[in-house]
Structures are given as C-alpha cells and as structure tokens.
Chain A
C-alpha cells in the first residue's frame, strides 16, 4: 500500500512547488533589486548634478557667508531638498535650510560631509518601507582651493511609494503565479498518480491469477508503454499457464494409462485362478508397464532439466565421436528391427556445446529414426557444414510424418500414431527434449518429411572457429 506521504503524487507536487517558488522568489528579488537600482542610479545622477551646481555657484561667491549663501540658494529654484547644509573647510555650518538657528556655527560631522571635505563627491541612498532617503555631498572650490562643502538630503515618499507599489505588484503576481502552479501541480500529480495506480491495480489483479485482465491506458507516453509491456507480459503468462495446464493434464493422462494397466493386471491375478504361465505373462506385462512408467518419469525429469538453468560448462567438441558412440549403443536395436545405420561423418566441424546434450540429441533422433522405420529401412547420419553452421542431418526412409503434424511433433506428449507409439514404447517427450537441448545450445532444428517416404531432421549449431575466436 502506498501511503499518501510517500506517494509520487505528493513528491512531484512538492518538488514542483518548491522549484517554482524558488524561481519566482529569485525573479521577485531580482526584479525588486533591479527596480531599486534603477531608481538609485536615476536619483544619484540627479542629486549629484544638483549638488555640483550648488557647489559651483557657492564657490563663485566673493564671500562665503550665511547671507550670501542663503541669497544664492534662494535664487536656485531647482534646489528643492529636504535639507541643504553648506559648511566651511572645517565642517562648520554656514547655512542650514532645516534648522538655521540651531545648526549654524555647529560642527557638521556627517559621514557625507567628512567625505566631501576629503575631496570626494558622495552619494548615499537608503530605501525603507516606502520612503527613499538620499544624501549627497560635494566639495566647494574657490580659486582652486577647497573651502567647504554642500550637503543635500532628500526625503522622498513619492518615488518610495512608486518602488513600493512596483514591489507589491510583483509580489502579487508572484503569489498569483505560485497559486496557479500549486493548483496545476496538484492536478497534474493526481492525474499522473491515478494512471500509475491503475497499472498497479492491474498488476495486482494479474498477480492473483486473472491472466485475461488487461491494463487500459490512453496516451502515447511512458506510462502507456509500461501498460503495453504489462499486457505483453500477461499474454506470455497466459500462454505459459495454458501450456502448464496442458502439460499437467497430458502428463496425468500418460501416467494414468500404465498405472491403470498395472492395476487391471494385478486385479486379474488376484481375482482369477490362473495357471503359473499366465501369471508369469501378467507379471511380465506389469513389469513392462512399470518400465514404461520409469522411462516416462526419467524423460519428464530430463525435460524439466532442459527447461531449467543450464548447468555444466560447454566444450568445444567434434560431433563425429559422439555420433559413433550413439551408433554403437543403438546398433543392437537397429539390427533387431532390421534397420541399417549409415554414417557420413567426414565433413565434421567443431561446435561449442554440452557434450551430454549432444549425445542425447543424436540418440533421440537416431532412436526415432529406428523406431518409426520399416524393416529393411535405413537411417543415415550425415555431418555437413553450411556457412557458419555445422549441420547434423538424420535421414530415415520410414513411415514419415503427415504435413499437418509437422508443427506439433515438438510439443510434449504429441504422437502422430498413438497406437504405434505405445507399442514402440514412445513417451511423446523425445523430440521436445531434443528441441529444448538444441535451443539452449544456440542451435536450431528443422524437419522435412513425406508420408511413406521418410523424414529428414536437420540440426544446426554455430561452428566454433578456433582461429577466429583466438584472435
């Protein structure tokens, strides 16, 4: 169960909101700072210009005293400041527009005045809560000598209010945008999570065994691809499950038949008075059925083994020695069935394979060639090469396989002629085992057959070219 606080929905929403909030805050601060800077630059140039003009006018006076300075400043209409102070070179106030009676004659040690009397033009600026406080000071020169300074202070609420309004608007836009982003994030993450939840719910349904269920997902994004993959996987699971059921059903049926025979024969022995010879015959039949059961269980084990993980290490082998070994093993049965085994092993090539698998493949195919043959027939084993493939070809001139059965012969428990197969002791597992072993050794198997003419099984393995592999 995915809890809400650990869900992707919340995670994506939070990441979205935090990231956008950070970006908006940055833009907000940046815009605010930039607007303040623009106001600052505008104010700086304007005030320094005014202050320099005042310094120049006062510096041109013959006598710099309160009365002359006051008269000059009164003539300069453009000097509309909250405060204007004129000092001598020692910082003693000559003129103060703010509080003449208190300040004049006092020592003015404002930082701007001290800096200006040190031969500097100074501008300082302070903005707070809708008010803009600007201070400027420039030295006064008379005949080239520094004789004092002009200090101006402007307390401006009009421009301050403009900055405040601008900042407030930017903040409102930011808050509005962030609110939109929050709504969008919640909406988007809900849709996204809903689609993930739909896939999750489908997987849970499939997990409990409903392989007919399919994920329904619109769009053409990654989630749609994921849903398609889940559906493909479910298809495969369904096929696999069908095969498993069929196998269990077939295996049960195949095992049931000899067991039923054994039961019948043993009941007959117990319930009827028989002579010893008949009893011996029945017990012999029971032994045959038991032997059939044994073979079948061994082949089932072998098939299961083939389908599980490959064990053992592949070796580079030539097929001819294995073929010869198989021929030796089956020569007795072949002679008994009057079948001739012919080998053409000259064109042999090395392959990389589990030797036991190769033995089993050759054995099963040759054994089939003998079993489903007619007396006087033959089985030809030929080794050949076709490009990069080594070929093992087993040809018989027996009864052949009908064309409609060719696709089925590699299925478990499939038999073309059930009566004959039972008689010959076939389990219907030999060819599935062969195919499993061929495929797990990167080979392929094909069959060509004509009824009454015989069959040709061709197994192809990639040639292991020792020189090329060494390089």
Chain B
C-alpha cells in the first residue's frame, strides 16, 4: 500500500512539475516540436502554442532533415500544422548564437498572424534543437512582413498574459 502511495505521489509530482513549468524537458533523447493548438485555450499558461515529443529518426541525419520532418506537421490530434504543405528548409546553419533558417518560397503564403505563429513555433523548436539564442527566418526570393528576414528569440514573444497582479485603476 505504501509503495502504491509513493508511486502515485511521485507520478503526481512529476505531472505537476512538467505541467506547470511551461518548459520542455528533453525526454530520453526525444526532441520537442512546437505547433499551434488545434483549439485555442484561453486559460492555459501555454497560450496558443504547445509541443509534442518526437523520437529521433535515423534518416534525419542533420538538423535540416529534422526541421523538414518538423515542417511535415504534428502527430498529435490536438495540434495543427500552420506551415504550407510544400514548405521545406532549404538551408540551415548556426553561427555563434544565431540560427539561420532559409525556407522555400511557399512559406510566404502565410499571412498575418499565421505567419507570426509559424515563425514562433519554428523559433521555439530550433532553440530546443540548438544552442542558438536567436533564430533568423527567411524565405527564398520573398520578404516576410516586408522584411528580408524575421529575427526572433525566446524573449520576443508574449504567449501568456500574467500581468494580473496589477488592479484596474
């Protein structure tokens, strides 16, 4: 009985620690792929984006292949893929703290907030995969939101409004 209670306690602690952190933990060599939630949750600390763990595959080889696998979309039904179907990573490199992701021109089909969501998902995934602190995203022969590239880091996104300590004046 004590053993069962200890197991339940351990499971509860693990669940709470993972569920509340909002951070991914590398799980036995698995990688976290970020996608948009299929249904918006207005009370979740993770906002519109969450992740799923994926087993590394042998054919992935380098990170370009990993990212191409990522662009194919999520496996979990509660997630949705915002990237166009024919969107590929043409070039990927990490220079110092900056990861450069060069995507095919089909990426430009994303407009408005969908473009932002896609860029944030890609950024968070790349930051999980590499030691880079900034991700620079560009697309072949086109501009993104009027820019040659979009540069994002972990601090440039507000996913959850936790400013509720301040009262309405």
Contact = CB atoms under 8 A, between A and B. Distances in A.
Interface string B141-165: 0000100000010011111110111
A153 B160 contact: no
B158 A107 contact: yes
Interface in B67-115: 112-113, 115
Contacts of A109: 47-49, 113, 116-117, 120, 157-159
Given A82-B167, A82-B168, A83-B161, A111 B113 contact: no
A111 B41 contact: yes
Contacts of A54: none
A109 B114 CA distance: 10
B163 A98 contact: yes
B157 to A, nearest CB: 5
Contacts of A80: 168-169
Contacts of A223: none
Contacts of A151: 161
B40 A155 contact: no
B47 A111 contact: yes
B57 interface: no
B42 interface: yes
A118 B43 contact: no
A106 interface: yes
B116 to A, nearest CB: 4
- Taking residues whose C-beta sits less than 8 angstroms from the other chain, chain A's interface range is 35 or more
Contact of B164 (A113, A124, A153): A153
Contacts of B41: 111
Contacts, number: 94
A126 B120 contact: no
Contact of B157 (A106, A112, A135, A146): A106
B164 A107 contact: no
A441 interface: no
A137 to B, nearest CB: 10
Nearest to B46: A111
Contacts of A99: 163
Contacts of B115: 90
A114 B40 CA distance: 9
A59 interface: no
A439 B44 CA distance: 88
A8 interface: no
Contacts of A112: 42
A113 B44 CA distance: 14
B168 A117 contact: no
Contact of A110 (B119, B145, B156, B159): B159
B158 A106 contact: yes
B126 to A, nearest CB: 15
Contacts of A92: 116
Nearest to A120: B40
Contacts of B40: 111, 114-115
B166 interface: yes
A11 B58 CA distance: 69
A153 B160 CA distance: 12
B82 to A, nearest CB: 11
A107 B152 contact: yes
A118 B167 contact: no
Nearest to A124: B42
B140 to A, nearest CB: 20
Contacts of B49: 109
B113 A154 contact: no
Given A83-B161, A109-B49, A111-B48, A126 B113 contact: no
A110 B152 contact: no
Given A82-B166, A89-B112, A91-B116, A153 B161 contact: yes
Nearest to B160: A110
Interface in A139-158: 146, 151, 153-157
A93 interface: yes
B163 A83 contact: yes
A43 to B, nearest CB: 12
A268 to B, nearest CB: 96
A103 interface: yes
A118 B113 contact: yes
A155 B119 CA distance: 31
Given A90-B116, A117-B112, A107 B156 contact: yes
A171 interface: no
A330 interface: no
B78 to A, nearest CB: 14
B163 A82 contact: yes
A358 interface: no
B42 A135 contact: yes
The 6 closest A-B pairs by CB, nearest first: A124-B42, A117-B113, A111-B40, A155-B164, A91-B116, A107-B157
Interface of A: 80-83, 89-93, 98-99, 103, 105-115, 117-118, 122, 124, 126, 131, 133, 135, 146, 151, 153-157
13 contacts: A80-B168, A82-B168, A91-B113, A92-B116, A98-B163, A106-B158, A109-B117, A110-B160, A111-B41, A111-B42, A111-B44, A131-B164, A153-B161
Given A82-B168, A135-B42, 5 more contacts: A105-B156, A106-B158, A114-B40, A155-B166, A155-B167
